[in-house]
A and B are shown apart, each in its own frame.
Chain A
């Protein structure tokens, strides 16, 4: 899986580092002073590195928990996000991470305890108010679970703090660590989907829709609150038929009444990210359509965006009550 593991000197003796390295006995281990020496330099090619990314084990010094952008959320008023990892095992062509980072290497911050302390401080500041923590912003929350043990570490923490809500956002089927324990009412496992035609064209290395649905059914049966995320929605001429088919496939098997939330948002990116992604994949048809730039964000033309959102909203409301639906029109 990884042929090179970079290890920050500061965490070289960390127990979690030893566990992770033991999983990859053939990988070359390279010590570095700070992970930024490997991850941040200019003259790196994200697309070439995506062929064979390395793992970087690092210490997160500050900014463990950040405020989510205003308007971002699924019903809560105090919304935060945190990233124990940077980058993703999957290779979705629309993903903003391609435009955000110079390197495709996976950074894993191993000092989970510091994240937990910061979450604790954030909760204390909120008093008795519920706080949301979104974990799948800069990575997939579950895809690396067998390596990171992130969920296994954090579930007891959230179990003991019912006023803290955790969203695990994923396209992965790595749900073993969730099925091993009793479901927590304050941990929402949110699965992202696009229609099969989009999945086949753009979501490389991602488990198929049916496999993700199977994982959701197992979790639902075990009592875990589930979310559905249709973000980004990708435009094609036949998008209505494609999304209608996808919704029918999902809602015919899932218990809609037991869903926690459904959110949707159209494809949109900061202009700088979009430009970089086009340079990485100039032959990608996704980037060859017509787009508009507004407030430094690239998105589908306004009318097309509205039409798509309206259509998918109406279709979703055939399956779920409006109270579960959360549209998102913010920066990806």
Chain B
């Protein structure tokens, strides 16, 4: 699942159209649009609203640690050209001075910059960073629900020293985001690859659920069963987690013992990998 937060309807509009999202609900004044594995929330401006909307989206969609989170919106910058897209490599909250560093573990050949979240629009651009009003609300909340590699902030420059915030209209905002949809697609693709790697590790095991439905496992026994299931998947991934002898077992403890004995008796071999990553 991809979760997108935009502050303004004008920022969200091109994304809603491009990803063919439909308005699903409004809660606490936040509009949520969904479709095609994407959920987008419109937070309204400001970091408090961004934090609240992020938390709402996470709770509504029961976001797991493998979800991708992206804050997409406009930002100002002293020198960068209007229309330039960028990824935040550092987020700073001006009020508290706190910093966050979204890890960039995928190839991103385009611009990146520091992003300073301010409480009121910045027209002087004193530092060589991008200025926005949401990232420092969005990022720390999103990273409570997902791993930080999957949480990123993408901004399009809407104003600079030559053309200040007063010149940014809703239509222009929409045009600026719409012009960067290809780049946004590419970013989502990269994040999607990462998400898949991460998800593969955290996918549930249907066999475990089936066994847990047949015998009563205490909480401790459920952990033991999950660990045995992991070992089973690693050692004999092609075989479902089942042994015919389990049919006669009348307790979860016996099931666990039988599975453990079966796994312990298997030959100990390390899977040889391909030579692709040899140096």
Question: Which A residues fall within an 8 A CB radius of B?
Answer: 3-4, 6, 28, 30-33, 37-38, 41-45, 47-49, 51-54, 103, 105, 197-198, 200-202, 204-208, 234-237, 278-290
Contacts and interface: CB of A to CB of B under 8 A. Distances in A.
B234 A283 contact: yes
B235 A288 contact: yes
Contacts of B263: 288, 290
Q: What bracket does the count of chain B residues touching chain A fall in?
A: 35 or more
Contacts, number: 121
Interface of B: 89-90, 99-101, 103-108, 112, 114, 143-144, 146-149, 194, 197-198, 201, 230-231, 233-235, 237, 263-264, 267-273, 275, 277-279
Interface of B: prevailing SS: mixed
A4 B279 CA distance: 23
Contacts of A42: 143
A280 B95 CA distance: 36
Contacts of B198: 45, 48
A278 B230 contact: yes
Given A30-B114, A51-B106, A53-B105, 9 more contacts: A28-B89, A30-B89, A30-B90, A33-B99, A41-B143, A47-B201, A200-B272, A200-B275, A236-B268
A288 B234 contact: yes
A51 B106 CA distance: 8
Nearest to B103: A49
Given A44-B147, A205-B277, A289 B268 contact: yes
A197 B269 CA distance: 9
B244 to A, nearest CB: 22
16 contacts: A28-B89, A30-B90, A30-B101, A44-B103, A52-B106, A54-B104, A202-B270, A205-B279, A236-B270, A237-B268, A280-B201, A282-B233, A283-B237, A284-B234, A285-B271, A290-B264
Contacts of A284: 234
Given A200-B273, A285-B235, A32 B112 contact: no
Contacts of B278: 208
B228 to A, nearest CB: 10
B265 to A, nearest CB: 10
Give 5 nearest A-B pairs by CB, closest first. Answer: A288-B234, A201-B270, A288-B231, A43-B143, A45-B147
B103 A54 contact: yes
A285 B272 CA distance: 10
A54 B198 CA distance: 19
Given A38-B101, A285-B235, A44 B268 contact: no
Given A30-B90, A208-B278, A285-B271, A41 B107 contact: no
Contacts of A48: 103, 105, 147, 149, 194, 197-198
